[in-house]
Structure 1
Amino acid sequence: MNIFAQFASRITKAVEALDLKTQSGDRPDLSRITVEPPRDASHGDLATNAAMVLAKAVGENPRALAEKIAAAMRDDADVAAAEVAGPGFVNLRLADGFWQARLGDILDTATDYGRSDVGAGRRVNVEYVSANPTGPMHVGHCRGAVVGDALANIMAFAGYDVTKEYYINDAGAQIDVLARSVMLRYREALGEQVGEIPPGLYPGDYLVPVGKALADEFDRKLNQMPEEEALAIVKDRTIDAMMAMIKEDLAALNVEHEVFFSERTLHADNAAAIRSAIADLTLKGHVYKGKLPPPKGEKSDDWEDREQTLFRSTEVGDDMDRPLVKSDGAYTYFAADVAYMKDKYARGFQDVIFILGADHGGYVKRMEALAKAVSDGALNLTILLCNLVKLYRDGEPVRMSKRSGEFVTLREVVDEVGRDPIRFMMLYRKSSEPLDFDFAKVTEQSKDNPVFYVQYASARCHSVFRQAKEQLGGGWIERSTMKAAAPRLTDEGEIAIIRKLAEYPRLIEATAQAMEPHRLAFYLYDLAQTFHAHWNRGTENNDLRFVKVNDPELTHARLGLVQAVSDVLTSGLALVGADAPAEMR
């Protein structure tokens, strides 16, 4: 239950009861009323802007109107105090009974607490990673993989119908280069001396097994075929091998896609899909024959000083029109994007989200324009850019991988520090900001390591139940028993934990709607901090300890609090893609 949405509804009803009228005699627009946590927690539990957004329309002084709203809210049984602050905000402090009841909500729903229907089943396609299948995943792909996967998890939890998709860039010049690189490794596997890998080809050792597999399957037959025929076979085998390796790397990071879309399918049957997509745009008046001026600065690969087939993208928000067909009849890279966007729309998606590297900033306007043109404005497109990740070890930059020949592989990072630190830390900063990832810091056991601090809170929750079993004996305490004892929770630290837990449903909805998964990582750290702070109070004051052998009812209440913290940590960490451990080793 989103308590902020619930109180927004209550306040709206209170305002409606005031029978306010605008100067023209109409009812005022109440849609701008919001309820949020106050900036200063000492001011209360909730704050509303109702008087601020209505005063001018109804011709009243904001503070005077706020006093009327506060007076109405004081009649609410769940409100302990309602006060006017500043120019007209209304701050509400809620009764302990309200918070105790919220603990019951969590115990009733367990790890489903926070699940929402705010997405209303809206169909969303989240495409992320989509690395060229030319080698192993590198750390540059890691951030986008985690951001996309966590965002998809959160949106599904918030009620959206989400599909996770990977676009396989298996067409184009880089695949030709890959095939030629593997042919060298194939010849090497047959015993030929190939020497150093020539510039322009892929030098990584990861292609050695691919060459050997081809030698085992074909012996010397590939060398005896026409080059074009041999390279076609090598492409197929190599792409399959690279995608198998990429999927293994992603699985190690707990990333799984439901759809793998091959770019080559767009070029099949004489590029039938591309031709169809361009024909659709032409019928809508978005395609014409013309010339483009050279772009400012460097000339792009697609620029020609001759007449071409162009997408009139400037009429749908782009800053320049885009080539679709070159003067020699070849399709541009962007033409495949047109067909792919049309395919997504044809599959019934209402929202399309691309997770791209920061170096793809130039794609944003053209893709937004394309989505608008393809769908007549019905398709909502969002492109999230992930900034660079810099690797360090004890403050020193990490050198490139020997295996890849060019970069640090994702698998090497997972093998060294583990999946959970990577998943959590890739979210512990807004994706548009640069991220420094230090191998030493993400594995140290301290408060300064956010993932350890959050997982340690989970382990502590489980340790409380082990302690309770040892000291009280007997079996598992039912959630209903813990819920019934909740009114015994009156300490300020206990209520503070429940307040923080009560923020979770709103956090999930806001994170999904803003498409900012880093908010969840921040929240989990704050929850862990609140829990650890109360735990530390218990080490100093025996009366605040979770297990009180001489007071079973109070113990049941406090165990309910611990169970609720464990439920939310388990839920949140699962959405992040990490574990909620029962103990730390």
Structure 2
Amino acid sequence: MADMQTLHAAFVAKIDAVLNALEMEGALPPETARGNVAVEPPRDPSHGDLATNAAMVLAKQAGTNPRALADKIVAHIANDPDVVSAEIAGPGFINLRLSDDVWRRELAAIADLGADYGRSALGAGTRVNIEYVSANPTGPMHMGHCRGAVVGDALAGLLEFAGHPVTREYYINDAGGQVDVLARSAHLRYREALGEDIGAIPEGLYPGDYLTDIGQAIADLHGDKFVDLPESEWLSDFRKASVAAMMKLIRHDLELLGIKHDLFASEAELQAAGKPEAAEAWLRERDLVYDGVLEAPKGKAPPEDWEAVELPLFRSTKFGDDQDRPIRKSNGSWTYFGADLAYHMQKAEAADALIDIWGADHAGTVKRIKAAVAALSEGQGKPIPFDVKLIQMVQLMRGGEPVKMSKRSGSFVTLADVVSEVGKDVVRFTMLTRKPEAQMEFDFAKVVEASKDNPVFYLQYAHARIRSTLRKAGVEPSADHLDRLGDAELGLVREAAQFPRMVEAAAKAREPHRIAFFLGDLAAAFHSFWNMGNDDPAKRIILEADPELTAARLFVAAQVAQVIRNGLAILGVEAVEEM
């Protein structure tokens, strides 16, 4: 990566230097806390290019009012040759207007840094574990898994771009009763593969055609070995074979979406290794697990079969939960929470921060898992930042009508079918065009529509249009005559130059959709710039009579395309060359 500071980082450093000077002058106390100082574009572009709240957030520490402190800051920053004007607005915001040379240098910085433009050291090497998808291994991936898969993978790409080492993890829930159901379903298909007429699939078993292949594979390998054996003698073998086959299918489906995990963690292996027992012992040593009786269900009479049973309880109320939670059932087996607690302990051993991507239907378990991670933080004597992102379901539509289910899956539309029809990039980018906590409709007709109302097309078209223009220009992009650029071109540079700041803001918020939103705005700005040439030939990018200005405008367009590519790369989407 080239040793060149981007505009946003440069002005953050300039404001910091001003505050250092004010500390030396005594206008600010030594080591003033500056964590809430922001430098960003004002909401209204007419107010300037950048604004800072420094005076607003530091006035109390300085023992003065914001406008008085703002006067002192302005007195310093106004002397900077890159600042055309520094004005105080409202109660103490400072608006800065920058010289045109600032934007020309930023344009050169984009060209110099290329694919690294916007890359940040914000993460400072802090290791982040992101667990996402983690679907039960009982069938193919479906669109219910898709949105969380894309959000998790895009978040991983974003955090890596912002300087975090990232582990992408998938937790295989292969220790529960649903895997026994899968094994029994596969055994039925195994008998079918050997010629038995199995009739209708019994209630309670998985009906999907995908199990036919598993049954056939087991029949090919073992013949009729398991036909007449009691369930106790074949269930374990069919569990292993079925889960292995399902995970192979799941990996394949995820790869269609461009998703690969670094680590697949097995719940069954976790339990076989005694990790839940170790977690319980660790927590008991710290008086965070005790033997107690659960309260009867609140607000209604308890079920007739309810009885007070002493169970090992985790003190989750100590960490903000509504009640203490059992880690074992009355039969001694682990509760889902008990296994999850041990799993999060395992993840924390190799990471400095944890992020879980869950479906919105898991909202009720957030408090208890956050309590568990808080206990780990306390026990290890170091904070373990933990964030849970809840993802709303996606409603599949076709021309405004709900999509029918898939025959192969038995009950849902498979991810493979969707990617096959509209393509990986369309699926990925569409999943990021709304905040993950908002409901979403995915309409097959609309996501491939060639119109500006389709954000995927609108963005891809902007990049393809630039690349096509560069190929046809007959003139090489050049930074030799950037002084020829006017307000329209520099306005486009201003838009593109927000990318490094957006990367850091999105990474801090753990919100990759911000990158998608930014790219949409940048594409709109470019299309607007292009359309000016339709109305006024003198504003077209290619001017046969003026090769110098053409080369400069092509240079602007090329760097806009570079920023689009960088943003799409974070999101795992390819920037197309032509459409």
Same fold at TM > 0.5: yes
Deviation at 1:545, TM superposition (A): 1.9
- Output aligned runs, 1:437-516, within 5 Å: 437-469=442-474, 472=475, 477=476, 482-489=478-485, 491-516=486-511
Deviation at 1:371, TM superposition (A): 1.0
Percent identity over the alignment is 53
Aligned residues: 569
Contact 1:2 1:503 in 2 (8 A): no
Match of 1:215 in 2: 219
The amino acid across from 1:452 in the alignment is F
Contact 1:22 1:28 in 2 (8 A): no
Match of 1:95 in 2: 99
Deviation at 1:16, TM superposition (A): 4.2
TM-score between the two structures when normalised by the length of structure 1? 0.93
Paired residue secondary structure (1:196): coil
Q: In structure 1, what is the Cα distance between the partners aligned to 2:424 and 2:231? A: 42
Q: In structure 2, what is the Cα distance between the partners aligned to 1:210 and 1:32? A: 57
Contact 1:458 1:566 in 2 (8 A): yes
Q: In structure 1, what is the Cα distance between the partners aligned to 2:481 and 2:249? A: 53
Match of 2:369 in 1: 367
Q: In structure 1, what is the Cα distance between the partners aligned to 2:560 and 2:108? A: 12
Decide whether aligned partners of structure 1 residues 18 and 233 sit closer, same or farther in structure 2, where only a CA change above 3 A counts.
closer
Deviation at 1:296, TM superposition (A): 3.5
Match of 1:312 in 2: 315
Residues 519-562 of structure 1, C-alpha deviations (whole Å, 9 max, x = no match)? 01000000100111101112222222222333333222222111
In the alignment, structure 1 residue 37 sits paired with structure 2 residue 38: no
Deviation at 1:317, TM superposition (A): 2.4
- Output aligned runs, 1:42-441, within 5 Å: 42-268=46-272, 272-296=274-298, 305-346=308-349, 348-376=350-378, 378-441=383-446
Paired residue secondary structure (2:514): helix
Decide whether aligned partners of structure 1 residues 124 and 18 sit closer, same or farther in structure 2, where only a CA change above 3 A counts.
closer
Deviation at 1:363, TM superposition (A): 1.4
**Which ranges of structure 2 fall in alignment gaps of 5 or more residues?**
none
Q: In structure 1, what is the Cα distance between the partners aligned to 2:359 and 2:321? A: 20
Contact 1:223 1:230 in 2 (8 A): no
* Structure 1 counterpart of 2:516, from 514, 521, 531: 521
Cα RMSD between the aligned structures? 2.1
Q: In structure 1, what is the Cα distance between the partners aligned to 2:355 and 2:103? A: 37
Deviation at 1:34, TM superposition (A): 1.8
Q: In structure 2, what is the Cα distance between the partners aligned to 1:304 and 1:274? A: 25
Q: In structure 1, what is the Cα distance between the partners aligned to 2:340 and 2:22? A: 55
Decide whether aligned partners of structure 1 residues 345 and 15 sit closer, same or farther in structure 2, where only a CA change above 3 A counts.
closer
Residues 30-72 of structure 1, C-alpha deviations (whole Å, 9 max, x = no match)? 4433212111011110111122223344454433443343333
Q: In structure 2, what is the Cα distance between the partners aligned to 1:29 and 1:253? A: 44
Contact 1:14 1:72 in 2 (8 A): yes
Deviation at 1:21, TM superposition (A): 4.5
The amino acid across from 1:105 in the alignment is A
The amino acid across from 1:580 in the alignment is A
Deviation at 1:18, TM superposition (A): 4.5
Which range moved further: 149-158 or 26-35?
26-35
Contact 2:6 2:109 in 1 (8 A): no
The amino acid across from 2:284 in the alignment is T
Contact 1:123 1:349 in 2 (8 A): yes
Q: In structure 2, what is the Cα distance between the partners aligned to 1:341 and 1:45? A: 44
Contact 1:104 1:486 in 2 (8 A): no
Q: In structure 2, what is the Cα distance between the partners aligned to 1:306 and 1:387? A: 36
Paired residue secondary structure (1:142): helix
Q: In structure 1, what is the Cα distance between the partners aligned to 2:203 and 2:543? A: 71
* Structure 2 counterpart of 1:560, from 555, 563, 568: 555
Q: In structure 2, what is the Cα distance between the partners aligned to 1:85 and 1:316? A: 43
Q: In structure 2, what is the Cα distance between the partners aligned to 1:296 and 1:166? A: 35
Which range moved further: 50-59 or 212-221?
50-59
Q: In structure 2, what is the Cα distance between the partners aligned to 1:313 and 1:572? A: 40
The amino acid across from 2:237 in the alignment is I
Deviation at 1:241, TM superposition (A): 1.0
Residues 186-217 of structure 1, C-alpha deviations (whole Å, 9 max, x = no match)? 11111111111111110111111111111211
Deviation at 1:22, TM superposition (A): 7.0
Which range moved further: 212-221 or 173-182?
212-221
Q: In structure 1, what is the Cα distance between the partners aligned to 2:527 and 2:269? A: 53
Paired residue secondary structure (1:207): helix
Which range moved further: 199-208 or 225-234?
225-234
The amino acid across from 2:334 in the alignment is Y
Q: In structure 2, what is the Cα distance between the partners aligned to 1:224 and 1:548? A: 82
Paired residue secondary structure (1:198): coil
Paired residue secondary structure (1:309): strand
Contact 1:128 1:148 in 2 (8 A): yes
Match of 2:572 in 1: 577
Contact 2:422 2:444 in 1 (8 A): yes
Decide whether aligned partners of structure 1 residues 326 and 33 sit closer, same or farther in structure 2, where only a CA change above 3 A counts.
closer
Q: In structure 2, what is the Cα distance between the partners aligned to 1:484 and 1:310? A: 71
Paired residue secondary structure (1:222): coil
Paired residue secondary structure (1:440): helix
* Structure 2 counterpart of 1:14, from 14, 18, 31: 18
Q: In structure 1, what is the Cα distance between the partners aligned to 2:179 and 2:312? A: 26
Paired residue secondary structure (2:326): strand
Contact 1:189 1:212 in 2 (8 A): yes
Residues 247-272 of structure 1, C-alpha deviations (whole Å, 9 max, x = no match)? 1111111111111111110121xx52
Contact 1:2 1:506 in 2 (8 A): no
Q: In structure 2, what is the Cα distance between the partners aligned to 1:106 and 1:119? A: 21
Paired residue secondary structure (1:482): coil
